Amino acid sequence: MFAKLAHTGILIAALGVAGCNDSSMKDFAPEANKPLPDKILADMKAKGMIRTSSVMARIFKEEGKLEIWKAKTNGRYDMVASYEICKWSGKLGPKYTEGDRQAPEGFYTVRPAQMNPRSNYHLSFNIGFPNAYDRANGRTGANLMVHGACSSSGCYSMTDAQIEQIYAFGRDAFQGGQTEFQIQAFPFRMTAANMARYRNDPNYDFWKMLKVGYDNFEVTKVPPKVDVCEKRYVFNQVAADGQTFNPTGACPATTQPDSLKSAYNAYQTTYDTAFNGALKASVPAPKPTIAGIKEASIVSDWSKKRARGERVPIDPPSLNSDGSVTETARMGRIDSPTGRKMAALDAEKAAKQKAEEQRLAAIETAKAQKEAAKAQALAEKEAAKRAAEAPVATATIAAPSEAAPAAETQAANADESRVSKLKNKLLGMFGG
């Protein structure tokens, strides 16, 4: 059994050695032959790595990271470089079908023939989708890459400078005798906190399966041996003599070293405690995830229409939790006679709709003006009516009082009497 484990590389870093395939390497474009920077080479040396030692890659979608790990002289791997992923398309979750624009998740293998030095995206390598697990589960798609040019439609896209280094890691490892390297693609770092965040997601069972491989690497720091049986991944298992792994058949009897079992169980115990604590903690809200094959099929149909040149919304449709579909109103490009015809029909329909809206608006405006005029006339009529019914206010002049002349006559008679008395008095004094 130990011989089998050594051969598969579970406990040691050495992989099968094969000669360099000159036919696949000699005609590389200049950018494919650029050496790694001196700083990276110095870091590798400090960690006990050589330039041509074995390599593997890890991808984390949510964190947007691509990590490069290399084997040290003791056989275990250590991270030597980490890159920000420029773009990846789709949502968290696996790729289901051709055209769903999902970047794959799972365990994939890259061989020298999958390296493309003359890529339309600067440099690239095919990650190997679909693998045995994907095929067993009826998943389809092709040409899923890690490439440059920072443009993605289901791939993991890097900048040109980044892909030159990533490509160089693979190239150097192949030159050193590594026959294939592993790519582990995850939705997120599979920590207790993150698993707790996504425990209600429809993709959770798939992610729990991937986590077994994730945990095996965390425990051993060696890429796990990956097989598929019963349409599921199995990791670091050795089939009994005479038995094999059939991706769609029953899993064979397997064995595993006691030391690995013990280390894995200890790791899992620590994880379980952290997971239970995370259930009670406040954590960030989950990111959007693909809602299974149903949403994948909707997006795939959109992709097919777009590929035919039909005019479709600029962004892929999205399936909501209630089963409804959300589409953006902004329409995409027109790149075919069919697309241009659809655009013309859409424009004609939009023009008719706009004309009808304007006609209805004019009718509503005229109606509103008529109602306003009617209301004003009614108001004026009511005002006039109230004015006519109001009482007229008049000024009253008092008649001259009859007592006034009498008072004046009495005053005049009194004056005459006093004058007469004065006259008689004077006459008596002077003998008149």
- Judge whether 147 counts as a catalytic residue: yes
258-279 helix and 204-220 helix, angle to the nearest 10 degrees? 130
Side-chain half-sphere CA neighbours of 188 within 13 A: 20
Distances (CA, A) of 88 to 148, 158, 278, 326: 12, 9, 28, 21
Collapsing DSSP states into helix, strand and coil, what is residue 181?
strand
Asked, as a colleague might, if the bond just before 224 is cis with ω within 30 of 0, I would say no
Side-chain half-sphere CA neighbours of 105 within 13 A: 29
Q: Which residues have C-beta within 8 Å of that of residue 327, sequence separation ≥ 6?
A: 313, 315, 317, 318
**Structure token digits, residue 324:** 């409804």
**Structure token digits, residue 102:** 């999902």
d(CA 356, CA 279) in angstroms, rounded, equals 56
Catalytic one of 147, 150, 229, 251: 147
Alpha helices in 124-241 (DSSP H): 132-136, 160-175, 192-197, 204-220
φ and ψ at residue 239, rounded to 5 degrees: -70, 145
How many other C-beta atoms lie within 10 A of the C-beta of residue 288? 10
Collapsing DSSP states into helix, strand and coil, what is residue 99?
coil
Catalytic one of 86, 122, 150, 155: 155
Taking alpha carbons only, the member of 58, 35, 327 closest to residue 190 is 58
d(CA 192, CA 188) in angstroms, rounded, equals 11
Collapsing DSSP states into helix, strand and coil, what is residue 224?
coil
d(CA 255, CA 241) in angstroms, rounded, equals 10
- Judge whether 122 counts as a catalytic residue: no
**Structure token digits, residue 114:** 């999958």
240 in the Ramachandran plot: left (φ > 0), alpha (ψ -120 to 50) or beta? beta
List the catalytic residues. Answer: 147, 155
